[in-house]
Amino acid sequence: MEQKLAFLLFVCAVTLGGCAIEPWVKPYERANLADPIMSFNRDPVSASYIHHVYDSREGARGAGVATGGGCGCN
Amino acid sequence: MNNLLSGNRLSLLLACFLSFAVVTHVDAASVKGQAPNFTLKSLGGKNLKLSEMAGNVVLINFWASWCGPCREEMPLLNDLHKKYEPLGFTVLGVNVEEDARNARGFLKNFPVDFPVLLDNKNQVSKKYNVIAMPTTVVVDRDGNMRFLHKGYKPGDEEKYRKMVKKLVRE
Amino acid sequence: MKFSIWRFFPVLLLLPAILELQAAVLPEERVDLLYHKYDGGGVTIDGPSFLVRKNLGESVSVGFNHYVDNVTSASIDVEVSGASEYTEERTENSFSVDYLRQKTTMSAAYTVSDENDFDANTLNLGISQDMFGDLTTISMSFAIGDNTVGLNLDGSEDFSEDTKVRSYRLGVSQVLTKNLVMAFTFETITDDGYLNNPYRSVRYCNDPACTGFSFQQEAYPETRTSTAMAVRANYFLPQRAAIFAGIRVFEDTWDIDATTYELGYTFPYQDEWIFEASFRFHDQTKAEFYSDLFPSANAQNYLARDKELSTFTSTTLGLGASYEFGRSWARIDRGSLNLQVDWIDFDYDDFRDLTQAGPVGEEPLYSFDATVTRLFASIWF
């Protein structure tokens, strides 16, 4: 449990202190990352349904679909 | 495990998280200095040099076909170009993709009147320190950078228009 | 609700659909219409799911999802209990709002689920932030749910119990290279209240020699806390294709341990087609108070015979095809028609098939196959 709290606080510290890091993938290099096939959640309605199928029939739940990546626009 | 995210700890976490959410993000700034010169091939095939535009106000827009806000912005930039071109103004679209076919494909469906240049090796993007998509730089008649805008949200075209209107009067 | 396990609180069903936490741009404006069907183990469930999402101005996005399950169930639990096949309908509606301010997205969603013996209301709040030149996205969300469990049997109209659910979720996604993005997700969920299924029973030996067995009602603890952590990656292959891999580990206070592995391969064909193949393997150990056959009546404080809490594996093979259209249409951005089919094989290690003959406690272990079909159309505008 303490490990988990330590991890979460680490995330905070990194986010607060890391604003000066230079991005190593430039915005104009993100063509592949912006491709829909690279999305973690391309079809949300379909993805949430199949997760529901598993969550209702298995004992495990949580930490389902990831989000992120993408075009980094704006 | 029950206590992990109870009361105090959750508040602490949220405080951490929200503290950087408050940091304002500068998306428009004044820039100084000569606009770095460059020569790029246009979609039409001819080479185009920025210094050839001296005497005109130039709006340089870095864009890519995979970038949603960039696509949204294009017709509005086209309107801006058509309106102020007679007064000595031009938009220069700089496409940053490695493969020109993507730009061609997009423009076939949504054509524009201004020159579109291909920065497929990203040399110009680097020169202009492009750190957002899209990025818009407005250069005055003397070749100085006078306006920089990162990203695009509906309504931003008004900011471009104001700057262009001001600079064409100089 | 009957023998189905729809108590799983609905916001997590719709969370990816309705609460799209991605910073810097609002969720895409779109309309989706899905026909879903699950067929396996004597259970058939199908119905529609409809989603619409629209921007209001430049900073706000609103979404609405309507989902229906039409259930026809003669599952093994129904058959074993001697009950007859039943049908029921479950409806779920969800409304969400996203607010974008610079690089931060704040989201809220409210979901209501209704069936004749189970109601659930859930509120979900989330925040998401882009950082480090938009290479990192951190998102946090938390949800609270209030459910009411009823009993759809003659004489039990007054039966009503409550459960409360709280969940906290943290996600970090990181762009590593031009072609690789990874995501880490952590989620903890706590349920309190009446957690078992009022229709379900456990079985126990009638005598020490266990020559026969009888049923008694399940008894679950009044609380359950679970933690899940997942790592996922998407890698772009040359000539445009993508590989997806993910692992999720799970543990809870009921002593269930589970690991889920996923692998996927997406390959476009020409401009309009995207094909997908996927594989999933789920491995779990049983809850501490689960048993297929207890030695006697009231053998322990907590008793369960829900196969969902047993030791089992599930293996899935999935195939999908997507056809894109409308890139040059005036009114829309693009559209797609999609078909996805998944074949799931459930294999139980300590849940026995009582519809088959065998000495008490040595009936064949249960296993079944299910086919899940998703047919849907999406339009982005």
What does the domain layout of chain A look like in residue ranges?
A: 2-57
Mean pLDDT of the C47-67 span = 93
Partners of C309 on chain A (C-beta within 8 Å) are 59
B118-132, C10-24, C93-107, C250-264: which has the minimum mean pLDDT?
Answer: C10-24
Give the distance from residue B170's alpha carbon to the nearest chain A alpha carbon, in angstroms: 30
**Residues C327, B106: Cα–Cα separation, whole Å:** 9
Give tens-digit pLDDT for C131-142.
887 889 999 999
What value of ipTM does the predicted structure carry?
0.90
Mean pLDDT of the C346-350 span = 97
| pLDDT band at residue C375 under the 50/70/90 scheme | very high
B94-103, C277-286, C364-373: which has the minimum mean pLDDT?
Answer: B94-103
**Chain C residues 253-292 within an 8 A CB cutoff of chain A:** 254, 256, 258, 260, 266, 268, 274, 282, 284, 287
The larger pLDDT score, comparing residue A71 to residue C272, is at: C272
DSSP B166: H
Rg (CA), chain A: 17
C82 exposed, middle or buried (CB, 10 Å; 0-12, 13-18, 19+)? exposed
pLDDT, position C44? 96
What are the distances in angstroms from CA C344 to CA C13, C35, C134, C279, C370? 19, 18, 37, 10, 5
The answer to whether A6 contacts chain C (CB < 8 Å) is: no
**Residues C65, C51: Cα–Cα separation, whole Å:** 4
pLDDT, position C294? 96
Angle between helices C10-18 and A44-57 (to 10 degrees): 160
Partners of B18 on chain C (C-beta within 8 Å) are 127
Q: pTM of the prediction? A: 0.86
**Residues C112, C67: Cα–Cα separation, whole Å:** 10
| pLDDT band at residue C23 under the 50/70/90 scheme | low
Asked if the Cβ–Cβ distance from C58 to B24 is below 8 Å, we say: no
The larger pLDDT score, comparing residue C121 to residue C25, is at: C121
Asked if the Cβ–Cβ distance from A73 to B132 is below 8 Å, we say: yes
- Percent of chain C whose predicted confidence (pLDDT) is above 70: 94
Q: Taking Cα atoms as reference points, which of B68, B100, C173 lies closest to residue A36?
A: B68
| pLDDT band at residue A5 under the 50/70/90 scheme | low
Q: Report yes or no: C276 and C319 within 8 Å, Cβ to Cβ.
A: yes
Mean pLDDT of the C84-112 span = 92
Q: Give DSSP secondary structure letters for C111-137.
A: EEEEETTEEEEEEEEEEEEEETTTTEE
pLDDT, position C15? 47
Token representation of residue C362: 């040595």
**pLDDT at position C16 over 50:** no
In one-letter notation, the amino acid at residue B32 is K
Asked if the Cβ–Cβ distance from B96 to A28 is below 8 Å, we say: yes
Domain C5-380, CATH among 2.40.160, 2.30.30, 1.10.10, 2.60.120: 2.40.160
Give tens-digit pLDDT for A8-60.
655 665 555 445 567 889 888 999 999 989 998 889 999 999 999 999 999 99
Which residue positions in chain B have pLDDT lower than 70? 1-30
Partners of B153 on chain A (C-beta within 8 Å) are 74
CB atoms within 10 A of CB C37: 15
Mean pLDDT of the C229-254 span = 95
The answer to whether A74 contacts chain B (CB < 8 Å) is: yes
Q: Taking Cα atoms as reference points, which of B116, B127, B121, B114 lies closest to residue B31?
A: B127
